Amino acid sequence: MIYDSTKLNSKAINELNAFCNEHKLSSLDANSFHNLDLTPNERILFNFYQDEINHLNEGGNLAVASDILRWLHPVYEKKTYTDFDFPVDTTSLPSTIEIEAPLLLNIGSLRMGKQEFILSNNDYVAVVDPEAAKKQIERIQQGIIDRLKNYDTDFVEKTEEQLQDNFFNRNMLKFMKNRSESFYISKSKELHAHPNSSRNVRNYIKQIMSDKNKFLDFNKQSPEESDESVIKRLRHDLEEQLTLIKYLFFGKEYTEIKTILKKDNDTFLEYMMKKELNLYLKSIVVCTTGPIQISNALFGGYVVDSGAFRKNVQPLSFNHYNLQKAFRSQNSIPMHESVFGMMRFLGEGEGELNDSSWLESGRKLQAQRTKKLEMRQQQFAENLPEHLIGLKKGIEKHILKLSNNRHGIFFKERRKLKHEALQEVLKCFQNNINEDEFDVAQFQKILPSIYLSKSVFAGLFFSQTKKLIGDLEQLSHEAMVFSLTQNKKIKWNSSSETRSETVTSVPHNFKF
């Protein structure tokens, strides 16, 4: 887990260390990188990283900072980087797999006739062979440096230029331009700050979108234009976005626009300022250090013919090796996706495919999700002892049933194996003087051998043994997810076996 000790107090660092110990994670302090032997470009990037996190109120952005870190060798030499807003489960993957490229990214594509529109993302990255991937990494590093120093983007123009001119592609471009992000990517290159670094451009737009008078002046077509005229034009421009395409594929945004157009001018301006700030920031970030910049640096553009895609792009995709199943990112598109398959992705709102906590709208959604999770955690913690006691009693009852049937002539060996497996599971429960506990680590240790024996879970139509062990596995997993374990153990008061029992090991709710 990568963190920066300069942004955490001692209490938070202790909680982070406890979290890492509990889940067997190693931590990496980004602040220690300045003592390492970085390459000249890595040193420049690290300075940009520090500039971002030290100027969060002046255009600095945590997404940009995070995007930078994953391309420094202390991080990418760890082999695989993933963001922390989606589950990762590598248990179903083989121990080794042969690949055709030293660098892997979350890359999908939109099939457009004989061309492929590259849809790359950097939310999970694997540098399999740092030396072999050196040139590719250096291209990415240099591209990020260039955009951090001098913000610019040619995404829309280059896409139009590279796409073959036919009826389908012309209509596809119209469809893409109906997405607000594409519109603001194009508009973002018209912003002028001095100097024109990416952070200065972000700070410039933040100042404009934080002051109503500056916002109105920013949108004036001439110094003489009145505020009323600007508002009227902004309303008209917004109303012009209520197209059939918007209605069919971006229904949530369509409804939002219809609603805000009915509001008074002050409410309308407040909405526009927040919306434009979000869209400008998102556009600038993805074109500076995010997916658009990565695609441009690696492949020199965003659209290639199908042959070039198979040869130069496809080998760098997790999807090509069916590895994407381990990284359960919602912000991921398959290769060769159809237009209809893209609709779900393009139509989603802010923060629905990822947390977007680096945007104000994303932070609000994250706060809402955190509140819901805290409520679920509390409810789960209150019911956990009762469920564990119930499962323990169920295991004891089933062991007794198996023992009573031990003289049966059918499936004698199967009953013996079930009995032994449940006895091992029962040993994970401990009764102490004032509290009981369930040892999750011990349970996880014996599970592989249980699963190896097919007879343990065998049954004609239903296996009670399988259900009991499966329920206990699910319950202990959720307890780990909700941070209800200490040293991989769940503890609860043993004085009562009613719903009033409470888990005694609930730690402080650690956030990061």
From first to last of its 512 residues, what are the pLDDT tens digits of the chain?
Answer: 999 999 999 999 999 998 898 888 899 999 999 999 999 999 999 999 999 999 999 999 999 999 999 999 999 999 899 988 788 888 888 889 999 999 999 999 999 888 999 999 999 999 999 999 999 999 999 999 999 999 999 888 888 877 766 656 666 666 565 566 777 887 887 787 777 899 999 999 999 999 999 999 999 999 999 999 999 999 999 999 898 878 887 788 899 999 999 999 999 999 999 999 999 999 999 999 999 999 999 999 999 999 999 999 999 999 999 999 898 887 788 999 887 777 666 655 555 556 666 777 777 877 888 899 899 999 999 999 999 999 999 999 999 998 887 655 566 788 889 999 999 999 999 988 778 999 999 999 999 999 888 788 887 678 899 999 999 999 999 999 898 998 899 999 876 554 434 444 444 333 32
386 in the same domain as 321: no
What span, in angstroms and rounded, lies between the C-alpha atoms of 6 and 33? 12
214 in the same domain as 294: yes
316 in the same domain as 420: no
Residue 501 lies in a domain: no
Residue 375 lies in a domain: yes
Residue 460 lies in a domain: yes
181 in the same domain as 59: yes
* Residue 89 belongs to domain spanning: 36-358
487 in the same domain as 466: yes
- Residue where a domain stops, chosen among 331, 358, 385: 358
219 in the same domain as 305: yes
CA distances from 175 to 241, 243, 278 (A): 12, 10, 21
- Helix axes of 40-53 and 62-69: crossing angle, nearest 10 degrees: 160
What span, in angstroms and rounded, lies between the C-alpha atoms of 58 and 56? 5
Domain count, the chain: 2
251 in the same domain as 165: yes
What span, in angstroms and rounded, lies between the C-alpha atoms of 372 and 421? 37
374 in the same domain as 327: no
Residue 2 lies in a domain: no
Torsion sign, CA atoms 184, 350, 87, 309: negative
Residue 1 lies in a domain: no
374 in the same domain as 338: no
272 in the same domain as 316: yes
Residue 210 Rama label (left phi>0; alpha psi -120 to 50; beta): alpha
80 in the same domain as 117: yes
CA atoms within 13 A of residue 195's CA, in its CB half-sphere: 7
The Cβ of residue 328 has, within 10 Å, a number of other Cβ atoms equal to: 11
Residue 400 lies in a domain: yes
Q: Residues 164, 167, 173, CA angle at the centre, nearest 5°?
A: 70
CA distances from 422 to 2, 284, 288, 443 (A): 40, 57, 56, 11
378 in the same domain as 353: no
Residue 124 lies in a domain: yes
Residue 6 lies in a domain: no
